Amino acid sequence: MKRLTVIVKGWPRLSETFVAQELVGLEALGLELDLWSLRHPTDTRRHALHLQLKARVRYLPEYLWQEPGRVARGIGAAFRLPGWRAAFAAFLRDWRRDPTPNRGRRFGQACVLAAEMDPATAHLYAHFIHTPGSVARYAAILRGLGWSASAHAKDIWTTPAWEKAEKLADMAWCTTCTAAGADHLNALVPGKTHLVYHGLDLSRWPAPPETRAPRDGTDAQDPVQIVSVGRLVAKKGYDDLIAALGRLDKNTAWRLVHIGGGPLKASLQAQAAAAGIADRIDWRGAQDQSHVRAALAAGDLFVLASRVAADGDRDGLPNVLMEAASQGLALVATDVAAIPEFVAEACGVLVPPGDPASLATALQSLIGDPTARARLGTAAQSRVQRDFPFARGREALYQLLHPCLSPPTPR
């Protein structure tokens, strides 16, 4: 078995537990990985899962001007590789349609990667089809290797169709974690993309609380605990959630616990203050998975108000929905992207995206009905256990990767 070179946009990232879960899982099956990141970490915390990865982790020049000597050596070495002419031609075709500094940076990073990667590398695998996919594609051409990618959400919906189609045509195969994404990509290049749900590794999650207090929103000293986990960015719809919470009956006792960082925090806090609910929201910022587990275990209800952002960005199937389900929480979410692929009527409530009034109605109903919350939470837990096991997705990915890493059978 030869080595697999994995390219990610950033490592480690608190918001991408599904990537860490997958890579640690592949190592457990015996794959030898080298991990290359386009960006250095910005999170000040990391999950315990990140520390379990055995792979060597290396960082490409985040901006080419930061490491000019390394970039020059990489380009010089790449120029002498057999695939230089084809890789440079592919880059020029892309550049003519997208003449941006970002495009040039990806080719420079690919040259460094091709020059420095382990000679035992047999295949390149990129998490996200957009920028990591570009680096993997150019480097694979330079080295004469095969490559593949895993596409998720933003990378699918904000990348131009021409770019996705050409990458899909070049790569050995692609996986994606939603049926909506698979349908979209297979419409561009039929048969190239496989649906592989991430699933949830329940061995890393404790059993849910045996019982929860029957809070019903009538006791101001013991409010219903609403939990939400997600980055404070447009596609997560937190302004819709704040608007919905502001519509709840003023006499209803509730508290929102939010975990996640992001650029919209100040504006959302101002919105909450204007709505008169700032004192009911606990903004905890980015946290590691132990804090997420604790918040979910202590919660009564989970909410996610995702929507399609103005630039087309949207969620795939947020793993946090499965994490909340594993803790027996009832789910309130929006009928957008791939969320309905997990949140069925029996285990949660779906409302239209961008509709604070409908979201408020769903929240008001479940805040006051602990029996309904318990029924939905039990069903949600059963769904993640039955239909989204991590081992199933890991095995499907392994079956795709294994032939790419094994030496050819002698004739």
CB 137 within 8 A of CB 170: yes
What's the CATH code, domain 3-199+389-405? 3.40.50.2000
Distance CA 120, CA 394 (A): 23
pLDDT, residue 407, reads 59
Q: What backbone phi and psi angles, to 5 degrees, belong to 143?
A: -90, -10
pLDDT, residue 403, reads 92
Higher pLDDT, 289 or 358: 358
| Cα 359 versus chain centre, distance | 24
pLDDT, residue 102, reads 94
CB 362 within 8 A of CB 331: no
Six-digit token string for 72: 């020059």
Query: How many other C-beta atoms can be found within 10 angstroms of the C-beta atom of residue 206?
Result: 12
Strand partners, 180: none
Which of left, alpha, beta for 144 (phi over 0: left; psi -120 to 50: alpha)? left
Of 112, 6, 361, 237, the C-alpha closest to 258 is 237
**pLDDT exceeds 90 at position 264:** yes
pLDDT digits (tens, 9 = 90+) for 124-176: 999 999 999 999 999 999 999 999 999 998 899 999 999 999 999 999 999 99
pLDDT, residue 411, reads 40
Average pLDDT over residues 8-21: 88
pLDDT, residue 94, reads 97
Of 139, 152, 82, the C-alpha closest to 107 is 139
pLDDT, residue 44, reads 79
> 3-199+389-405 with 203-387: one CATH topology?
yes
Question: For the chain, how far is it from start to end, CA to CA, in angstroms?
Answer: 19
pLDDT digits (tens, 9 = 90+) for 309-325: 999 888 889 999 999 99
Six-digit token string for 303: 């909410």
* Chain position carrying tokens 């990391």: 46
Global confidence as pTM? 0.88
**pLDDT exceeds 60 at position 356:** yes
Residue type, 38: L
pLDDT, residue 1, reads 59
Of 105, 112, 101, the C-alpha closest to 76 is 112
Residues 6+ apart with CB under 8 A from 201: 21, 25, 390
Indicate if the alpha-carbon torsion angle 274, 278, 281, 283 is positive or negative.
positive
Q: What is the overall mean pLDDT for the chain?
A: 94
Burial of 15-49, coded b for 16+ CB within 10 Å and e otherwise, reads bbbbbbbbbbbbbeeebbbbbbbbeeeebebbbeb
Average pLDDT over residues 314-338: 94
Work out the pLDDT band at 409, boundaries 50, 70, 90: very low
User: What does the domain layout of the chain look like in residue ranges?
Assistant: 3-199+389-405, 203-387
Average pLDDT over residues 67-75: 97
Average pLDDT over residues 390-408: 89
pLDDT digits (tens, 9 = 90+) for 96-110: 999 999 999 999 999
| Side-chain half-sphere CA neighbours of 398 within 13 A | 18
Average pLDDT over residues 399-409: 80
Distance CA 276, CA 247 (A): 11
Helix (H) or strand (E) holding 367: helix 356-367
DSSP 85-137: HHHHHHHHHHHHH--SHHHHHHHHHHHHHHHHS-TTEEEEEEESTTHHHHHHH
Helix (H) or strand (E) holding 297: helix 289-298
Residue type, 118: D
Average pLDDT over residues 52-63: 94
Q: Report the percent of the chain where pLDDT is more than 70.
A: 99
Which of left, alpha, beta for 5 (phi over 0: left; psi -120 to 50: alpha)? beta
Distance CA 123, CA 139 (A): 10
Distance CA 239, CA 269 (A): 10
Average pLDDT over residues 292-320: 93
Work out the pLDDT band at 43, boundaries 50, 70, 90: confident
Residues 6+ apart with CB under 8 A from 301: 224, 225, 226, 227, 329, 330, 332, 363, 366, 367, 373
pLDDT, residue 331, reads 97
**pLDDT exceeds 90 at position 59:** yes
Task: Determine whether domain 203-387 maps to CATH 3.40.50.2300.
Answer: no
